[in-house]
Amino acid sequence: MTQPPSQQPPQGGFGAPQGPPQGVPQPPQGPPQTPPPAQPPQAPAGQPGYGYPQQPTQPGYGYPPQPGPYAQQQPGPYGQPQQPGPYAQQPGPYGQPQQPGYGYPQQQYPGAPSPAGPAGPGGGNPFKGKPAVIIGAAVAALLVIGGGVFLLSGGDDDEKKPVAKKSGEVQKPSASPTVDEGDGDGTGREGSDDLNGGRKPGEAKVLWLQKNDVDLPRNGADVYGPWIVGDTIIKGMYRTVSGYSVADGKQKWTLKLPADICAAPAQTTADGRIVIGVKNGTTDKADCSDLQLIDLNTGKTGWKKPVKSSGLFDLMSDISLAISGNTVTVGRTGASNAFRVSDGKELFGKRDGICQPFAFAGGAKLIAATSCRTDDLDNPQHQIEEIDPDTGKPKWTYKPARGWEVDNVYSVSPLVVSLTKGSSSQDKKWSILALRENGTLRSQVISDKGDKFPMGCGSAFAIFGKSVDGCDGVTADANTLYMRTQDDTSGAGRTNQVVAFNLNTGRTKWKAKAPAEQTMKPLRMEGADVILYVDAGYNKGGGIATLSPSGGSPRMILQHPASTAQIESSFWDEDVLYAAGRSFIVSGRISAGNDEKELETKTMMAFGK
């Protein structure tokens, strides 16, 4: 095990994002007001515990309208860098700071209810029947849901306040999960229009278009996934997980669940299995505490077990799931667990001591975001750890300066992490760090003045819990981080860039411009090239493009037809996948004003040659 050495902050910083909930567009934010001092000061008094949503922007829940080509707003951008980055001396492998006294209110993990602070007016009560301190905190959280944060930048004082809405009636669930295997002849609510009638030479075909076939509660539901396993694309929503043929969109199987899906990891296991979170009931008192194994090849369920509570306030926050190898982790406020995917055996749980992981990023490595109890609630101490997925023991620990909180993990290999400092849009700061294999500092990413970066990460509408992976619009290879910039403007003139950062120096390598009147975002790496999604513009189809390691102009490899640009641009908070020469656009949230419109809502679209 390696003990990272002390680090000194270089000049420069970065201005960065808190991942907004799915389906919550946010207005552009302003540049930073004043630079921070050389050493990070204490956060302002009254800062809530980690995990609270930040300053509100637009209403975060209800019926999202279907946007046109110019209406696809991006999550709030984040301003140019200032100085310094979040550096401090490094502890030993377990990274525990000097232990403070244990008297109340020192017991404070990220997102835990604050002992004081007003709860503003709100709508529905998501914690009905739970302790009053949680109820007050939940109401306050609902008021700020959907807010953005800044990488060393300030916000807009004129942002509108969200309106909390109560959930409507929901259909009665089945007693246990059931699978409709199907015969491959079902339509899965396919669109019936001749979508290729206006296709021009050189343009891709519309392979299929799906409409919603799930009866949803009044306010709609978030979409979990999508995941591609073999020749099947899978998504989950409300109380259903369904698999569709990638070739023709035919529904291959559907799994009915007894209660709402409430959490899902960004990745599956190598053999196509996944563990999702399901609520333990259908009332407003239900917790997100049941884990369900699903084989996405077949839609068959495996083991199911509850996550046991480890304290008074445990499991009252949202949970986040991550998979690394044969391990699935359950992160949440003040505690965490890990289970073996193959048989559900618990591998490790809440740690002894004052430092507890609260969220994980999975994949090739298992990275933990950890919070340590301190004697100053307004000056938190977070840690970044690589942990053994079988034992939960840290292989190394990186300890940022006090006051900086782990925000998101953009990549686990190479390891790139964003951190934030400050509690409001006025003083929120953001920094991006690259760490080496042994957990020592590699670089701090420094953007050019004026660059702003939107970033959607994690799960939707989390009240207290925190997801740190699953970020949209960013990817990395061994030596370079690729991020999209915020739209330059709106309407026909909108466009953006992809910026490449050298992970050894933190400096900008190059910038690549999107096609005129369109924006683009990185999806993933394919060999040495960056795979991009170029969105649809007015009378211009979107498509899949590549960027070479040296930058330049994007090269379109799958041009979507211009004749379906309006449909392509209508997907709400879309997720885009590209695999085996096909592209898939999946709506991130489904809702409508009535049942008839709900069943006409387009949910997935596929293109290919």
Return the closest-CA partner of residue 292 out of 261, 316, 267.
261
Q: Summarize the confidence of residues 300-312 as an average pLDDT.
A: 87
Q: How many domains does the chain have?
A: 1
d(C-alpha 518, C-alpha 520), whole Å: 7
Q: Which two tokens stand for residue 119?
A: 């709860």
Return the closest-CA partner of residue 136 out of 144, 150, 125, 148.
125
- Residue 76 forms part of a structural domain: yes
- Residue 435 forms part of a structural domain: yes
d(C-alpha 171, C-alpha 174), whole Å: 9
Looking at residue 456, its pLDDT comes to 77
- Residue 154 forms part of a structural domain: yes
3-class DSSP state of 565? helix
CB 551 within 8 A of CB 511: yes
Digit-coded pLDDT (tens) for 372-383: 999 998 899 999
CB 301 within 8 A of CB 255: yes
- Residue 80 forms part of a structural domain: yes
Q: Look up the domain containing 34 and give its range.
A: 8-169+354-452
Task: Tell me the Cα Rg of the chain.
Answer: 23
Q: Is 254 exposed, middle or buried (0-12, 13-18, 19+ CB in 10 A)?
A: buried
Using the predicted structure, report yes or no on whether residue 54 has a pLDDT greater than 80: no
H and E: helices and strands count for the chain: 3, 34
- Residue 484 forms part of a structural domain: no
Cβ–Cβ contacts within 10 Å for residue 374, how many?
A: 18
Q: Is 31 exposed, middle or buried (0-12, 13-18, 19+ CB in 10 A)?
A: middle
Q: Which run of H or of E encompasses 142?
A: helix 132-144
Using the predicted structure, report yes or no on whether residue 97 has a pLDDT greater than 90: no
- Residue 52 forms part of a structural domain: yes
Phi, psi (deg, nearest 5) at residue 221: -155, 150
Looking at residue 311, its pLDDT comes to 63
Instruction: Out of 15-29, 302-316, 349-363, 527-541, pick the least confident.
Output: 15-29
N- to C-terminal Cα distance for the chain?
Answer: 50
Looking at residue 177, its pLDDT comes to 63
Amino acid at 266: A
Cβ–Cβ contacts within 10 Å for residue 120, how many?
A: 12
Instruction: Out of 5-19, 265-279, 320-334, 335-349, pick the least confident.
Output: 5-19
Looking at residue 64, its pLDDT comes to 45
Q: Which two tokens stand for residue 347?
A: 């591998």
Q: Summarize the confidence of residues 226-230 as an average pLDDT.
A: 98
Highest mean pLDDT among 20-34, 132-146, 198-212: 198-212
State percent of the chain over pLDDT 70: 65
More confident residue, 124 or 492: 492
Burial state string for 99-113 with b = 16 or more CB within 10 A and e = fewer than 16: eeeeeeeeebbbbbb
- Residue 486 forms part of a structural domain: no
Using the predicted structure, report yes or no on whether residue 582 has a pLDDT greater than 60: yes
Confidence (pTM): 0.73
- Residue 211 forms part of a structural domain: no
Distance of CA 374 to the CA centre of its chain: 27
Using the predicted structure, report yes or no on whether residue 422 has a pLDDT greater than 60: yes
Looking at residue 148, its pLDDT comes to 30
Using the predicted structure, report yes or no on whether residue 170 has a pLDDT greater than 70: no
Digit-coded pLDDT (tens) for 521-555: 999 999 999 999 999 998 899 999 999 999 999 99
In the structure, what pLDDT confidence band is assigned to residue 384 with cuts at 50, 70 and 90? very high
In the structure, what pLDDT confidence band is assigned to residue 17 with cuts at 50, 70 and 90? very low
Q: Summarize the confidence of residues 132-148 as an average pLDDT.
A: 37
